[in-house]
Amino acid sequence: MNQNMTEKRRLLRDINVLDFTTTELREYLDTHPYDTDAISYFHRYNGMLHQVTKEYTAKFGPIRQDMPGNCMDEWKWATSPMPWEGGAC
């Protein structure tokens, strides 16, 4: 159980950090649309973010509407706790 919590926290921290990095890069690129270095950084971190999100979703439930997970007997998007009540936070 403890191992699970640690892994959940680790994956969530990675998602938070990677999503934040891509958000910062997106906002930078909006005003620097021809900065090719920044564009490569974005693609790199965005790819990593996608991977970690898939892993988190498979193990702990969905956080994105377009990645509901594979579960066929429970709509976890609705049954999992909200982020301010012990969910993805």
Distance in Å, CB of 8 to other proteins, minimum: 12
Q: Is the dihedral of CA 13, 14, 18, 19 positive or negative?
A: negative
Q: How far apart are CA 33 and CA 56, in angstroms?
A: 31
Residues of this chain that interact with other proteins (CB under 8 A) are 12-13, 15-21, 23-28, 30-34, 38, 41, 62-66, 77, 80, 82-84, 87-89
Contact 41, 24 (CB under 8 A): no
Distance in Å, CB of 16 to other proteins, minimum: 6
What amino acid occupies position 72?
M
Minimum CB distance to other proteins smaller for 26 or for 54:
26
Task: List 65's β-bridge partners, or say none.
Answer: none
Distance in Å, CB of 39 to other proteins, minimum: 13
